[in-house]
Structure 1
């Protein structure tokens, strides 16, 4: 009498579905009572399994210090020929996503996150106010500077406005990367 199909799957690090498929396809043989001789099945498994048929090993247990990511959940449902771990992988990926969502929600409630559209809108309004202030500056200052320097106020105003517009045009070439 050998061990059960599930116990052999745990022994190999594969699902019981993968073990049943190996029995059905003749890669390993079960004892007459339906159990498996682990030593003999290991030899048969190694001899009759190509690298393309090799099952994907289950991920090792993780420590609490390292948070799990979606990539850690392993390959997707179409990853291997047996597809035995797809449900467990899907559940793990789902739990990881829920944990990440909760983490973001807590950060938002603590005020650690800001709304992207609102931030972009405020930056735009600030840049527009700055631009308008610079465009109004030559009209405010040109008369005083012209009197101090003893030159024509209109010529001073035209020169200042031209240079301010040139400077603002150069600043306008900047493209912010919002990633």
Structure 2
């Protein structure tokens, strides 16, 4: 026998014999002419074709290094993990695949939560809300701009009646008349309602 048996290779890589048989059937192992397994070539082929997230065995030191991840991506992963109270990777290549995958799952969950809130009507469109608040503020400003012209005639007639009785206008009377008209103006402005539907 030139190479390893299925059982010997399974012990070599830390997998079950069934997993080795499955890898053999799918062509992920290199075999010699006698059907035995070429361990070195098979290790390289498995490393190249195995998804790290589905691998149970720890990567060996001989595993080829992957492309470095940019620092901006690492900081985004770190921010996401930090928001959730999870351990954060060190910037500069210290992120593990598991940390990146966890951050990705957290972001997907947050995105689903926002979509669900929008579907339930708990969130509103920012531009629409800003437009509604702007319209409301403009209506309130316009109400106050036109108020003196409307209230002046009413106040003058009320004050003229008060002065005619005794000939003296006290500051308290002026304040009382002004307060009653300001309250009436505020009551009319309170009737404005924002419709977010």
Asked whether the two chains share a fold, i.e. TM above 0.5, the reply is no
TM range (shorter): 0.3 to 0.5
Q: Which protein shows a greater Rg? A: 2
- TM-score by length of structure 1 reads 0.42
